[in-house]
Amino acid sequence: MFLAIDTSLGTAVAVVEDDGVIAAQATSSDPRGHAEVIGTLIQRALAEASVDASAIDAVAAGMGPGPFTGLRVGIAAARTFALGRGIPVIPVASHDAVALELLLFDALAGGFQDAPDEPFAVVTDARRREFAYTVYRGLDADGLPVRVAEPALTPRDDLDGILETGSILRRDAEAIPAGMLGLVAARAVAAGRSVASSDALYLRSPDVTMPHGPKKVTPAAAAGAGAADGGTR
Amino acid sequence: MNRTEPLVLGIETSCDETGIGIVRGRTLLSNTIASSMDEHARYGGVVPEVAARAHLEALQPSIEAALAEANVSLSDLDAVAVTSGPGLAGALMVGVGAAKALAVSLGKPLYAVNHLVGHIAADVLTDDGAAIEYPTVALLVSGGHTSLLLVRDLTTDVEMLGETMDDAAGEAFDKVARLLGLPYPGGPQIDRAAAEGDPNAIPFPRGLSRASDMATHRYDFSFSGLKTAVARWVEQRRDAGEDVPVGDVAASFREAVVDVLVTKALNACRDYDVPRLLLGGGVIANKRLRDVALERAAAAGVAVRIPPLSLCTDNGAMIAALASELIMSGRPASTLEFGADSTLPVTEIQVARA
Ligand SMILES: [Zn+2]
């Protein structure tokens, strides 16, 4: 049985059986406050699935992309939960969960027609006037969404232009379905495949400003004649 | 749960050290620290996002290393402890998320505690085995905080007497080092430069020490005016085309910091009639601070306690030690309903008590 945790948007936790049946989901849509709710959501998901922690055999971790501060809470939680039980962490690209949900829904809604798979982009808010997006097309033989392009960031205004060029449908997501994250992990494990890196998908370097020389504190007029020759700076 | 000698794992991620500590009662079994200090060096100070990323990567290996050193397994634990605050929000959240999931996974109680009170609790782990005597004044000095506390009881009664109004003392060391062209972290660099300097060469100001300040900020600190005074003094020398006597500047600056720290701490001891002073925080590594504190405390009849340096800098053992004290005094665990609180007041020794 899988415990799935994602904090790349809100906070989402699910318990998923090995055959992909979603036993329980517990979510909070608060885009902040991940650290506040993560413990209770894990507890609630386990309780709703009527299992305790010892029933979990692997933890699916949503690796992003997503705003850093929240994203880390879920990854940290997935790692320590797994450590506590001595079980593996299965890293999953968070957009894969959305893609799988869309593809499964389309398969149901579309009946049995064998329509060719259209490329589509899962799009999430990356803050700072940027979107994070990943392009998919259909499911592979293992039932996993096929990533045509890896997760990337783009200025919000540029996204539609980029997608149009490739005739890619835009599918915005407000939340990551943890049950689907667990299902991606279950299918990956069943197929003996690794589907994501175990590094957080930050897609951005940390914000840092390199220090300049110390700022001058002496008012120019008070600095005296010596300032005229430029001092040491 | 064993309440006589609980086995506790503590997680500390409030700044740039990922600290994992394991204690049994008051016995230290492991104090594992992974620091991201080197990554901050080129920025001249702690970059919160860099620190938080480093915590995420260091947590699991640090927990594993601590367990190996303590020769215990997670299932042996009586409780998990974590710093809820104060500190850098994004950094704290990594520890909080990790601690909650670990506690749920193990089915063990979780104690969410105050970082500053943790610094005091570090003293119970010192080898001499002597319990902290109450009340005691505690002076905590680091790159993140400068606080003067009155501790009547570690688990129930800690009062903030004063704290810095602007920079922490450690930050002042970093900034002055930078304006003298010395690398980060500034403390050891200033110390090295000061060795050849005269501490009385330049009369730098003592922040919040004038009679008028002492009425309202008797136990508060301010280092930003001192930093500006040093900058101005150095600039004027440079602008006049003179050499800057780095040793004298470093020694005089350090003396101003040490003087105001020790003076205010001993004022508190005298005012509250408390003949005990506990020192904590990374800046306690500064030998001049220790020497002046010991010398002037002795003259004032105040006994000074200084935990080993590895327990003075931020660490997980102090967090485990505080939780252990809470457990031994019969306190219930925290619920899971708490977050990272970057400004957690020192009166909140444990958060989210059940
Ligand atoms: Zn500290």
Q: What is the per-residue DSSP string for chain A?
A: -EEEEE-SSSEEEEEE-TTS-EEEEEEE--SS-HHHHHHHHHHHHHHHTT--GGG--EEEEE--SS-HHHHHHHHHHHHHHHHHHT--EEEE-HHHHHHHHHHHHHHHHTTT--PPPPPEEEEEE-STTEEEEEEEEEE-TTS-EEEEEEEEEEEHHHHHHHHHHTT-EEEE-SS--HHHHHHHHHHHHHTT---S-SS----S--------SPPP-S-GGGG-GGGGGTTT-
pLDDT of residue A231: 31
Partner-chain contact A40 B337, CB within 8 Å:
yes
Q: Token pair for residue B248?
A: 């004298």
- Compute CA B71 distance to the chain's CA centroid, rounded to the nearest angstrom: 28
Q: What is the pTM of this model?
A: 0.94
Q: Please provide the average confidence, as pLDDT, over all residues in chain B.
A: 96
A201 touches chain B (CB under 8 A): no
Q: Token pair for residue B240?
A: 């006049």
pLDDT of residue B354: 86
Partner-chain contact B104 A210, CB within 8 Å:
no
DSSP state of B234: H
Indicate the pLDDT class of residue A107, thresholds 50, 70 and 90.
confident
More confident: A220 or A232: A220
A224 touches chain B (CB under 8 A): yes
Partner-chain contact A76 B56, CB within 8 Å:
yes
B338 pLDDT more than 70? yes
What would the mean pLDDT of B148-165 be, rounded to a whole number? 97
Over the stretch B229-245, which tens digit does the pLDDT of each residue have? 999 999 999 999 999 99
B165 pLDDT more than 80? yes
Cis status, amide bond into A206, omega within 30 of 0: no
Q: Is the dihedral of CA A79, A84, A86, A87 positive or negative?
A: negative
A12 touches chain B (CB under 8 A): no
Closest Cα in chain A to B64: A83
Cα–Cα distance between A139 and B156 in angstroms, integer?
Answer: 59
- Smallest Cβ–Cβ distance between B98 and the set A80, A216, A223 belongs to A80
Cα–Cα distance between A199 and B174 in angstroms, integer?
Answer: 32
Q: Of A133-147, A210-224, B74-88, B224-238, which range is least confident?
A: A210-224
A225 pLDDT more than 50? no
Chain B hits for A46, CB-CB cut-off 8 Å, are: 104
CB within 8 Å of A69: residues ≥ 6 apart = A32, A34, B52, B89, B90, B93
A112 pLDDT more than 60? no
B299 pLDDT more than 90? yes
Q: Of A206-220, B187-201, B242-256, which range is least confident?
A: A206-220
pLDDT of residue A228: 34
Partner-chain contact A200 B94, CB within 8 Å:
no
pLDDT of residue A230: 32
B100, B232, B242, B243: best to mutate for the A interface, most A CBs within 10 A = B100
Q: Token pair for residue B10?
A: 């503590």
CA of B342 to the centre of ligand 1 (A): 12
pLDDT of residue A229: 34
Q: Token pair for residue B188?
A: 């050891």
Q: Of A30-44, A213-227, B325-339, which range is least confident?
A: A213-227
Over the stretch B183-214, which tens digit does the pLDDT of each residue have? 999 999 999 999 999 999 999 999 999 988 98
pLDDT of residue B267: 97
pLDDT of residue B133: 92
pLDDT of residue A207: 79
A61 pLDDT more than 90? yes
CB within 8 Å of A128: residues ≥ 6 apart = none
Q: Is the dihedral of CA A10, A77, A185, A202 positive or negative?
A: positive
Over the stretch B254-270, which tens digit does the pLDDT of each residue have? 999 999 999 999 999 99
A116 pLDDT more than 90? no
What would the mean pLDDT of A115-142 be, rounded to a whole number? 93
CA of B7 to the centre of ligand 1 (A): 23
pLDDT of residue A31: 83
Over the stretch A20-36, which tens digit does the pLDDT of each residue have? 999 999 999 888 899 99
Q: Chain B neighbours among A 96-135 (CB < 8 Å)?
A: none
Residue type, position B82, single letter: V
CA of B177 to the centre of ligand 1 (A): 21
Residue type, position A113, single letter: Q
A113 pLDDT more than 80? no
- How many C-beta neighbours within 10 Å does residue A208 have? 15
Cis status, amide bond into B199, omega within 30 of 0: no
Indicate the pLDDT class of residue B131, thresholds 50, 70 and 90.
confident
B49, B50, B72, B104: best to mutate for the A interface, most A CBs within 10 A = B104
CA of B241 to the centre of ligand 1 (A): 41
A115 pLDDT more than 90? no
Q: Token pair for residue B136?
A: 């005691």
Residue B5: HSE in the Cβ half-sphere, 13 Å Cα cutoff? 7
**Which of A66, A71, A64 is CA-nearest to residue A91?**
A64
Over the stretch B66-116, which tens digit does the pLDDT of each residue have? 999 999 999 999 999 999 999 999 999 999 999 999 999 999 999 999 999
Indicate the pLDDT class of residue B176, thresholds 50, 70 and 90.
very high
**Which of A112, A122, A111, A114 is CA-nearest to residue A180?**
A122
Q: Quick one: residue A192, left, alpha or beta (phi over 0 = left, psi -120 to 50 = alpha)?
A: left
A109 pLDDT more than 90? no
What's the complex ipTM? 0.95
Q: From start to end of chain B, where are the E strands?
A: 7-12, 17-24, 27-35, 79-85, 110-114, 136-141, 146-153, 157-163, 276-280, 303-305, 350-351
Indicate the pLDDT class of residue B42, thresholds 50, 70 and 90.
confident
Cα–Cα distance between B112 and A37 in angstroms, integer?
Answer: 14
- The answer to whether the beta carbons of residues A115 and A142 sit under 8 Å apart is no
pLDDT of residue A210: 64
Cα–Cα distance between A83 and B88 in angstroms, integer?
Answer: 25
- Residue B288, burial from CB neighbour count under 10 angstroms (0-12, 13-18, 19+): middle
Partner-chain contact B101 A38, CB within 8 Å:
yes
A36 touches chain B (CB under 8 A): yes
pLDDT of residue B174: 94
Indicate the pLDDT class of residue A111, thresholds 50, 70 and 90.
low
A218 touches chain B (CB under 8 A): yes
To which residue do tokens 């499911």 refer?
A139
Pairing status of strand B136-141 against strand B146-153: antiparallel
